Amino acid sequence: MKRFSVSEFHALFRWRERVARRKLLSPQSGRGKRTTIALLLALSSFSALAHEVRHAIEPANAVSVRLTFADGQPFAFEAFEVYAAGSDKPLAVGRTDAQGRAVFLPPETGEMRLRAFAADGHGVDLKFDPPRGGTTAAAPAAEDRPAKLMFGAGLLLALFGLIQLFVRRKKPL
Amino acid sequence: MHIPDGFLSPQTYLPAYAAAGLAWAWAARGLRRTLDEETVPRLAAMTALAYGLGLVMVPIPGGTSGHALGVAMLALLFGVRLAFLAYSLVLALQSLLFGAGGITALAVNALAMGLCGSLAALLTYRLLRRMNETAAVAIAAWCSVLLPGLLVALALGAQPSIAHREDGTPLFFPFGFAITLPAVVIPHLFIGAGEAVLTVLVWRFARARKWCSA
């Protein structure tokens, strides 16, 4: 069904007046007026439909990825983009919520990529296989930050200990 | 301030790796001559401190978090070359173990924080030490945070211009200079103040033990 724009309505009016002037349809004729008004009302109802945004509330299995800073502070209200693996066209873009969650619907198959950015350069770029069909992803192992910190410090000290074996000795005074 | 993986385009990080490679080679020259049995344990302790400091997140006004760098104390105690090498090692460990900073971005992070941070600290200190030594150390530490912050903001803000699709959509980091400069630099004004206090404390401790090279 053709939908008329405002400019098309104006064109329609001009056409009608041209026709009336040619005496094909008298503007003074009551029947002609009624027909024209009815036609315009019918057309305007189609035009109104074109501007209406409808909604449908449906259950869906969304994926929620929670992002936090290292101190547990939520990565809140920051921009994120979601891609199907191998695609550079985003499936969804949005902002994390107050608790730092990026929520989106995953594609039916395949890995996904989530990129989240804060303007100050914090963020993530991660690939993952999202849980589908109402399943829950296996909880990631709790990050043992103190152990990692100690491991890193141990590595550093071991490296410097190794260097110490090869550095020159100071001459005794 | 650590730039993660996926935020920088190859047009940025590949030349940065080339530049960092040259800088690492320069810094490693004469290493055997610089290091001795007394310097190595001190350097080890200060590097471990910088590594730990970089992982302690402190909330900053504006809803973000920040951390000290520790690069100023390395530069003031051991000079730019050793500070750059040690801080590059710190960044590599933080990246590999904690994902704090990316491997692809390591060169940019090392050049900004390790090299430029050290240079900023040492030059500022040498310029100001005749007026007041403690103030010189504090301002040097503040500059050692602010300059890398500025460079990181510039590197991030340049990404939309460097790498984008035909329709202009950025392929890597999406925010331009107008957003990254205030977002990175303003919090680092506060972080720099914390770094200054910390560096002055370490400096006094080290000076009392005659560790200083600057």
Strand partners, A74: A68
Is A3 strand, coil or helix? Answer: coil
Inform me whether the pLDDT recorded for A24 exceeds 60: no
Q: How far is B3 from chain A (nearest CA, A)?
A: 6
Q: Are residues A46 and A67 in the same domain?
A: no
Q: How many domains does chain A have?
A: 2
Does an H or E element contain B65, and which? strand B64-66
Question: What are the chain A neighbours of B39 within 8 Å (beta carbons)?
Answer: 167
Tell me if A154 is assigned to some domain.
no
Inform me whether the pLDDT recorded for A64 exceeds 80: yes
Q: Are residues A73 and A127 in the same domain?
A: yes
Exposure pattern of A32-52 as b/e (b: 16+ CB <10 Å)? beeebeeeeeeeeeeeeeeee
Q: Domain holding A71: CATH number?
A: 2.60.40.1120
Q: What is the mean pLDDT of chain B?
A: 90
Tell me if A161 is assigned to some domain.
no
Across A30-42, average pLDDT: 78
Going by C-beta distance under 8 Å and a sequence separation of 6 or more, which residues neighbour residue B179? Answer: A119, B157
Does an H or E element contain B64, and which? strand B64-66
Across A29-50, average pLDDT: 72
**ipTM, interface predicted TM-score of the complex:** 0.80
Which chain A residue has the Cα nearest residue B48? A153
Inform me whether the pLDDT recorded for B25 exceeds 90: yes
Tell me if A136 is assigned to some domain.
no
**At which of A115, A131, A147 does a domain end?**
A131
- What fold characterizes domain B10-208? Arp2/3 complex 21 kDa subunit ARPC3 (1.10.1760)
Contact A98, A106 (CB under 8 A): no
Counting residues of chain A whose pLDDT is more than 70, the rounded percentage is 69
Q: What per-residue confidence (pLDDT) applies to A7?
A: 58
Which chain B residue has the Cα nearest residue A165? B37
Nearest in space to B115 (alpha carbons), one of B67, B77, B83, B74: B83
Domain boundaries, chain B: 10-208
Beta strands in A17-160 (DSSP E): 63-66, 79-84, 92-95, 101-104, 112-117, 123-128
Q: Are residues A47 and A67 in the same domain?
A: no
List the structure tokens of B127: 């310029």
Q: Are residues A127 and A72 in the same domain?
A: yes
Tell me if A164 is assigned to some domain.
no
Please state, in angstroms and as integers, the Cα–Cα distance from residue B68 to each residue in A102, B71, B86, B117, following that order: 29, 9, 16, 12
CB-based contact, A152 to chain B, within 8 Å: yes
Q: Are residues A19 and A73 in the same domain?
A: no
Instruction: Look up the domain containing A111 and give its range.
Output: 63-131
Test B57 with A155 for CB contact under 8 angstroms.
no
Q: Are residues A22 and A70 in the same domain?
A: no
